[in-house]
A and B are shown apart, each in its own frame.
Chain A
């Protein structure tokens, strides 16, 4: 089987989990000897040679093609210069827009065949890029007929998937890694929601990264349940990481590591910390990351008078992330809404017991972790206290957690995906 796959980013040039998931999935597909044509807006040349890569920036679009005109007509409304960056907090947003603005090459649109230079970022011209990407999708589908099924990852690539389906008549699978409801709560970006919904409706089958996400797709997007399958993410490497990095403080450390935004529920971590510190002052809490709620969290920690026990590191990268995991005695992910959430699995690899919110997809695959409702700070505090003080339970979690991790393989995910493809193709014919 040969799959035409549309992504938005690919390692090593990634800014979020989407690229990593695509990477894992393709590795899994390779394991089963399936061929993947992988399209990204921009190739950098240093990607690992795992698929038949297509650089969208190299594709010449023939604007005179009749069928394109219909596609184009449906897309032009997107190009209202909406300055929106759905995946990023304000700080990263600034960085990315600065970058994207300087990075972009203008094209002369007066001619009828040309290439479009994608930045592949989440910048100012995101909507423009998304719609041009759709035209590229149509062009590729027209140029090459050597594929059996189309697979598009997240809303950025949905229009490309839809266009490719229209051109080729081949079935479309859309893969939902996150929805607008996870990113923005109830205050959704309407154009993004519209694209997501259009993609799910046009698709022959929808794949969700968790049951949690599947439920959102059914409830909020009105997609019939029989059309939606769950394919949990996996880990690339399940080996336990033995770090040489030594902790320098005598106290035990409880860590939150992630963007400090609404979606990640940082305030529940702060409130739970207070309850633990009141009972046992010999603990340090660390909030690692950056985001629009950072200052509010600092303010709250000062207000609760626990700033000598509750620390902020700012945004961590590279080795510091590993160091942080390595010195943590408990890892907490109190996300309000997390389609999957790969970070707790990283913690498990560092032999750190984890507490995750029931509102996260990863809770569906990680059995040996404590699961609490994100809003239940009492339960969260109890769990933290238990993992810190009762060696039995944390030792058990360490052992069983790493066993569990070994079962989360991308080749298993790919096997399930192939079944989904087969069913979808069978349905269509």
Chain B
């Protein structure tokens, strides 16, 4: 039996409000509550609510057979609680069916795995606790790092924390002649199984679905199943990983994306021997074919599938390094607001907005950014960070004085 594994990334950052130089030292509220609420509400109407209800229909239509997985970031969980309890409730109902798996990640969708094992572990634990709290004691078994960022050493850290598997990108440059449609193991710790995204078929849905200049436009479920059937018989698993906002936000409702998803399971059951599995089931039921070497971190972003969407230019590196300079000081401060801001400031999106790759994938970055330019993003972030640094300094002096 061959299987399809659907996984959706559900994430929204806490966006910063326009924060001026004159605010440094005075205004300690950094978040654009109005904008963040608007984004969540709009996406709830366009994507989360209709798509959750569609998935619920499919789960009822195919009991025990149609399955998906989500990784819902902690910043999204927090914002759902505040701005969209209706969406939270619908996710809770989906998880309660048993046909939906939740994955673990860092609480704030951070890049901590690249910088500090201690901070990474802390944020993973925090995400785990939050999921337990909101989803009736649910404990994730499989890990998905921020934006599918993965390397041998990240995998080894994840394995140490007791996860049985991790999801990442089936990047061409790490696969070479190999196929993403198998289960692999981590190169350092073979206990950890690795699932690779089939980026061609995933991106056919996520990016190309409504592209009228694409030779295969329009994409129908029949066409998609033909491609699935064309995959060599011995290849066992097709991992379709994408942003959840694909449905209704990136591909608007009028492109027919919802209809496509509504009828995809039916076409698959009728015309192929594929079924649906959650990542956990794939890991339990398949034998790894070998290990995969990823010495340098990969991700699912941009054409390069590397880290350059978040790190590498001077703006990003400066902001990132100044932030993590604070780690040891923040650790010693017992203050819920400092801890909250510290974790929200780590969210990868802040660094994504500072990307200057204007010519290749810049337009995608522009689409997601609340700023006019990466320079604006940088200035705003640094102003906020400067204020945060002052608070951290003050609090850690207080902590020392009282100790």
A residues adjacent to B (C-beta < 8 A): 247-250, 286, 288, 294-295, 298-299, 302-303, 305, 307-308, 311-314, 320, 323
**Given the complex, which residues of B lie within 8 Å of A299, measured CB to CB?**
314-315, 375
**Given the complex, which residues of A lie within 8 Å of B318, measured CB to CB?**
302-303, 305, 307
Contact A302:B24 (CB < 8 A) given known A307-B378, A311-B383: no
Contact A303:B314 (CB < 8 A) given known A308-B382, A311-B21, A311-B383: yes
* Cα–Cα, bound, A355→B360 (Å): 44
Q: List 19 A-B contacts (CB under 8 A).
A: A248-B22, A298-B379, A299-B314, A299-B375, A302-B315, A302-B319, A302-B378, A303-B318, A305-B321, A307-B378, A308-B322, A308-B382, A308-B386, A311-B24, A311-B379, A311-B383, A311-B386, A313-B21, A323-B22
**Given the complex, which residues of A lie within 8 Å of B24, measured CB to CB?**
248-249, 311
Taking CB atoms and an 8 Å cut-off, the chain B residues in 313-363 that contact chain A are 313-315, 317-319, 321-322
Contact, CB under 8 Å: A294 / B375: yes
B82 near A: Cβ within 8 Å? no
In the complex, besides A311-B382, A323-B22, 18 extra interface pairs with C-beta distance below 8 angstroms are A250-B390, A286-B21, A295-B373, A298-B375, A299-B314, A299-B375, A302-B313, A302-B315, A302-B317, A302-B378, A305-B321, A308-B322, A308-B385, A311-B24, A311-B383, A311-B386, A312-B379, A320-B22
**Given the complex, which residues of B lie within 8 Å of A295, measured CB to CB?**
373, 375
Q: A297 to chain B: closest CB distance in Å?
A: 9
Chain A at the B interface: SS class: mixed
Q: A252 to chain B: closest CB distance in Å?
A: 13
* Cα–Cα, bound, A249→B319 (Å): 20
* Cα–Cα, bound, A69→B379 (Å): 56
**Given the complex, which residues of A lie within 8 Å of B25, measured CB to CB?**
247-250
Q: Which of B20, B321, B322 contacts A313 (CB 8 A)?
A: B20
Nearest opposing residue in chain B for A313, CB measure: B21
**Given the complex, which residues of A lie within 8 Å of B375, measured CB to CB?**
294-295, 298-299
Chain B at the A interface: SS class: helix
Q: A369 to chain B: closest CB distance in Å?
A: 25
B26 near A: Cβ within 8 Å? yes
Q: A291 to chain B: closest CB distance in Å?
A: 13
* Cα–Cα, bound, A302→B355 (Å): 13
**Given the complex, which residues of A lie within 8 Å of B378, measured CB to CB?**
298, 302, 307
* Cα–Cα, bound, A317→B402 (Å): 44
B residues adjacent to A (C-beta < 8 A): 20-22, 24-26, 313-315, 317-319, 321-322, 373, 375, 378-379, 382-383, 385-386, 389-390
Contact, CB under 8 Å: A307 / B382: yes
* Cα–Cα, bound, A15→B296 (Å): 54
**Given the complex, which residues of B lie within 8 Å of A247, measured CB to CB?**
25
* Cα–Cα, bound, A101→B26 (Å): 42
Q: A104 to chain B: closest CB distance in Å?
A: 29
Most chain A CB atoms below 10 A, which of B21, B25, B319 = B21
**Given the complex, which residues of A lie within 8 Å of B382, measured CB to CB?**
307-308, 311
**Given the complex, which residues of A lie within 8 Å of B389, measured CB to CB?**
308
Contact A302:B21 (CB < 8 A) given known A248-B26, A294-B375, A311-B383: no
Q: B48 to chain A: closest CB distance in Å?
A: 35
* Cα–Cα, bound, A288→B20 (Å): 11
Contact, CB under 8 Å: B321 / A298: no
* Cα–Cα, bound, A288→B321 (Å): 25
* Cα–Cα, bound, A294→B372 (Å): 14
**Given the complex, which residues of B lie within 8 Å of A320, measured CB to CB?**
22
Nearest opposing residue in chain A for B373, CB measure: A295
Q: Which of A248, A288, A307 contacts B322 (CB 8 A)?
A: A307
* Cα–Cα, bound, A247→B21 (Å): 11
* Cα–Cα, bound, A61→B262 (Å): 76
Contact A302:B26 (CB < 8 A) given known A307-B382, A308-B382: no
* Cα–Cα, bound, A307→B20 (Å): 14
* Cα–Cα, bound, A295→B24 (Å): 21
* Cα–Cα, bound, A232→B379 (Å): 38
Contact, CB under 8 Å: A302 / B373: no
* Cα–Cα, bound, A286→B382 (Å): 13
Return the 10 tightest CB-CB contacts between A and B, nearest first: A248-B25, A302-B314, A302-B318, A249-B25, A303-B314, A248-B26, A313-B21, A298-B375, A302-B315, A307-B382
